[in-house]
Amino acid sequence: MPHVELAPVSRVGTSPEPWWKGATIYQIYPRSFADTDGDGIGDLKGIAERLDHVASLGVDCIWISPFYTSPMRDFGYDVADYCGVDPIFGTLADFDAVVARAHALGLKVIIDQVYSHTSDQHPWFIESRSSRGNPRADWYVWADPKSDGSPPNNWQSVFGGPSWTWDARREQYYHHNFLKEQPQLNCRLPAVQEALLDITRFWLDRGVDGFRFDAINFMMHDPALTDNPPVENPAKRTRPFDFQHHIHNQSQPEIALFLERLRSVVDSYGDRFALAEVGGEQALKEMHEYTEGPRRLHSAYGFDFLYADQLTPQIVAQAAQHWPDRDGVGWPSWAFENHDAPRAISRWVAPDHADQFARTKMLLLGSLRGSIILFQGEELGLTQVDVPFERLQDPEAIANWPQTLSRDGVRTPMPWHADRPAHGFTSGEPWLPFGPDHAELAVDRQSADPTSMLAFTRSVIALRSRTPALRWGSLDVNEAGPQLLVFERTYGSQTVRCTFNLSDTEAPLRRHNGAMMTTGPVLADALGPYAALIEEIS
């Protein structure tokens, strides 16, 4: 799909802002990035070998999803050793090599930390469940049954069914917001907090530049174990979890106080970055709380776009306006795709507009105020894969089949070479299948095409990096109608106008003369379907 690109204005010399502010972050899902030992599962050596590709995009940072020792019931988000590397992925030395290679290429490195729960194979839990009197007996959330033997309250698990599992050794239930193999840590306990802060220091000592804190608003529960209230007149739901307001099993006010301790540790290592993932009904309120002022986390992101079934001017405008450029208000981060959410290009547009839309979507992400996150393969325009039931790996997808677009469909391997076996991802059998269109989207094929989606992505990131208004500026919405989204970004004396037609029909346009980048047909008085125009107006 052709596009018109004019040279970006280059005004950024020595940055007046911290590196993470306005940064472009590239998420790597290790199982699916690159495999070097032929077992069909990606590994740390594969990441190190393929970082040249990531650096060529012009991004500032990589975020590596869990690679820790784990039984892989939730593919690494069930941690059995916070300070160890699972043999599937390699060794601590392999991780150190990734950090060294990334830093040599000018890339920062942030890693996932999962502090709300562990694996049931973690030594802490093995000890905790052994008796009611051991030194870690209260490191997890344990409760006696009701008089009839049923669970202590009505809390439900994200992955389906009650969030309580009976343990005969203690004759008690333990709490888990996710799988029963992911018992909930009692993060109110000072000893648990100290242990988590020690883990933070361990990875900072190894040279990481920051963290993405997974499901951070699940860290603490109401110790009174109060029942959650029901959702009145719920629409169709796929999980019992959706029938409740999650007031008491998560989102406790004391979480923010722990985040201040966490930020203090991170800051003690200098120029580091702390990013929260926050979902749920109170996500916006909690994201603001968790990033308020200089003592809490640097940034947070939620699910404004990740689970949206369409992309409209109103959705984008509302999300942007929730984060005004005002003292005391935190810095947002944004993602259109990640390892938990289906590919945006498959959610938001019909196939006949997919090529054009992929470019406009990328330019929109690159124009938002905040830090932005690309998920591996997004730079290629990868589509969601329809993984057949017999190939599913994701426990959530298996439990809710066929009512959800599975997380497996976005976690499929990176296609590096169009014509090699397994598209160059592995010499063995990939753990998940490729999509039928992924060969034509492979890195080697797109690298040879100056009009490819990959080339366009590089141009967008370069534009953002070189344009202070796009990287750091304020955002003011001018229009959010049925078709057009128009906003202005201002930093210092520079103002950039961003106009997006998010519909499948032509839209009227009033344009200026300072065009910096376009996608699709841009006429004197009209913007084509799913087309965009970035202009410098002062």
Nearest residue to 36 (alpha-carbon basis) of 24, 20, 47, 28: 47
CA 190 – CA 198 distance, rounded (Å): 12
Asked about 254 being catalytic, the answer comes back as no
Nearest residue to 265 (alpha-carbon basis) of 371, 332, 194: 194
Nearest residue to 302 (alpha-carbon basis) of 370, 377, 232, 221: 370
CB 536 within 8 A of CB 495: yes
User: Residues 6 or more apart from 5 whose CB is under 8 A from it?
Assistant: 459, 517, 518
Task: Identify any residues that bridge with 108 across adjacent strands, giving them in sequence order.
Answer: 61
- Active-site residue among 35, 277, 304, 379? 277
User: Residues 6 or more apart from 63 whose CB is under 8 A from it?
Assistant: 25, 26, 27, 28, 110, 111, 112, 212, 275, 373
Alpha-carbon radius of gyration of the chain: 23
Asked about 277 being catalytic, the answer comes back as yes
Half-sphere exposure (Cβ direction) of 115: Cα atoms closer than 13 Å: 29
Judge residue 142's burial from the number of C-beta atoms within 10 Å of its C-beta, 0-12 exposed, 13-18 middle, 19 or more buried: buried
CA 483 – CA 501 distance, rounded (Å): 5
CA 394 – CA 366 distance, rounded (Å): 30
- Active-site residue among 43, 78, 112, 214? 214
Residue type at position 104: A
**String of DSSP letters for 425-470:** S-SS--SSPPPTTTTTT-HHHHHT-TTSHHHHHHHHHHHHHH-HHH
**What amino acid positions are annotated as catalytic residues?**
214, 277
